[in-house]
Amino acid sequence: MAIQCCVENFVTKMQKTLELKSTSMLTVTAVLHSTDMDGLEIALSEAAGPEKDFFENDFTVIDIGHLSKDAAIDWKQLLALFRSCRLNPVLVRNAPQHMQEQILSNGLALDEIALQPRIPPQQVAEDTQPAQPAQQAAQPVSEPVSAQVEVPAASAMFVDTPVRSGQQIYAKNADLIITAVVNPGAEVIADGSIHVYAPLKGRAAAGASGNTQARIFTLSMEAELVSIAGVYSTNEAFAATVEKGSPSQISLDGNKIRIKPVNGAM
């Protein structure tokens, strides 16, 4: 009997050759406004720091939606620039049709969601509106009745212990509320907003699934990097304008990160 159990356990382990799991991680979105390689090299070098050690082979999304449709891109040189700054490009967003084959041939993926045509809401309403009969009998007019609709409370993940260096916390489809310090080298990610009722010294990425309305709040702004819906700003970029240790609110204004002080307790 014992031998049979051992054989069954061995067979079960041998059959499990692959396990797929969904995961989420911090990505950097690089929005290109130019294809000038010299200018891009300068911008990337400034973001990466003097030693080019700020990034840690972070997965990178390249957004080319702001370029003209006839823009010429040297993909091999562009990818080499990113990798020299320890950025790992994996996906291209808003790619025109004539560029897609070249992008794929360089080992990059395409953002299929961004490529899908969007139907205007008015058109959807017209298409889905039920047909009305040609003639309707007069109906008595009644006073409108106010209906009470129960709105489900937004979900949230709570973290009450310090987030250590190298640790990553992800709040899927939820806000993230942290009551302890987020140490340097730590990453906190949420599909919703992030509230840190303590010093924020690591990296914080809100709106990870694309929510541009998400925000980051902290009682002490000391972050290495902040990101909203993939648009990021590093400490080197905002250190001169944001007082270190000040209560702050981070939001997205178009394609730029906006950081402003918070007056009073959050």
Compute and round to an integer the Cα radius of gyration of the chain. Answer: 25
Q: Are 143 and 161 in contact (CB under 8 A)?
A: no
Look at residue 123 and tell me whether its pLDDT is greater than 50: no
**Helices (H), ranges, the chain:** 2-15, 37-48, 75-84, 97-105, 112-115, 121-128, 235-238
Separation between Cα atoms, residue 163 and residue 118, nearest integer Å: 40
Sheet holding 87-93, edge to edge: 27-31, 58-63, 87-93, 109-110
Average pLDDT value for residue range 216-240: 91
Report strand pairing: 231-234 vs 225-228: antiparallel
How is domain 156-261 classified at the CATH fold level? Pectate Lyase C-like (2.160.20)
The rounded percent of the chain whose pLDDT value lies above 90 is 48
Architecture of the domain defined by 25-115: 2-Layer Sandwich (3.30)
Average pLDDT value for residue range 154-178: 90
Residue given tokens 């009073």 in the structure block: 264
Other CB atoms within 10 Å distance of the CB of residue 104:
13
Tell me the pTM.
0.54
Q: Residue 213's pLDDT is what?
A: 95
Look at residue 260 and tell me whether its pLDDT is greater than 80: yes
Calculate the average pLDDT of the chain: 80
Look at residue 149 and tell me whether its pLDDT is greater than 50: no
Q: Residue 100's pLDDT is what?
A: 93
Average pLDDT value for residue range 220-234: 92
Look at residue 262 and tell me whether its pLDDT is greater than 90: no
Q: Residue 57's pLDDT is what?
A: 85
Average pLDDT value for residue range 202-226: 94
Q: Residue 4's pLDDT is what?
A: 57
Q: Residue 72's pLDDT is what?
A: 92
Q: Residue 76's pLDDT is what?
A: 95
Q: How would residue 166 be classed by pLDDT, with cut points 50, 70 and 90? A: confident
Q: Residue 9's pLDDT is what?
A: 57
Separation between Cα atoms, residue 156 and residue 174, nearest integer Å: 5
Q: Where are the domains of the chain?
A: 25-115, 156-261
Average pLDDT value for residue range 10-22: 63
User: Dihedral (C-alpha) 199, 218, 158, 210: value to the nearest 10 degrees?
Assistant: -130
Average pLDDT value for residue range 171-200: 94
Task: Take residue 29 and report the two structure tokens written for it.
Answer: 């979105």
Is 264 or 161 the better-scoring residue by pLDDT? 161
Residue given tokens 């993926």 in the structure block: 109
Range name among 7-11, 15-19, 33-37 with the lowest pLDDT average: 7-11
Give which of 210, 199, 203, 200 is closest to 189, Cα–Cα.
203
pLDDT per residue as tens digits for the range 40-90: 999 898 888 787 777 888 889 899 998 988 899 999 999 999 999 999 999
Separation between Cα atoms, residue 43 and residue 142, nearest integer Å: 64
Q: Residue 80's pLDDT is what?
A: 95
Provide the 3-class DSSP secondary structure of residue 247: coil
Residue 93 φ then ψ, to 5°: -110, 145
Q: How would residue 155 be classed by pLDDT, with cut points 50, 70 and 90? A: confident
Separation between Cα atoms, residue 246 and residue 64, nearest integer Å: 35
User: Dihedral (C-alpha) 42, 45, 47, 51: value to the nearest 10 degrees?
Assistant: -150
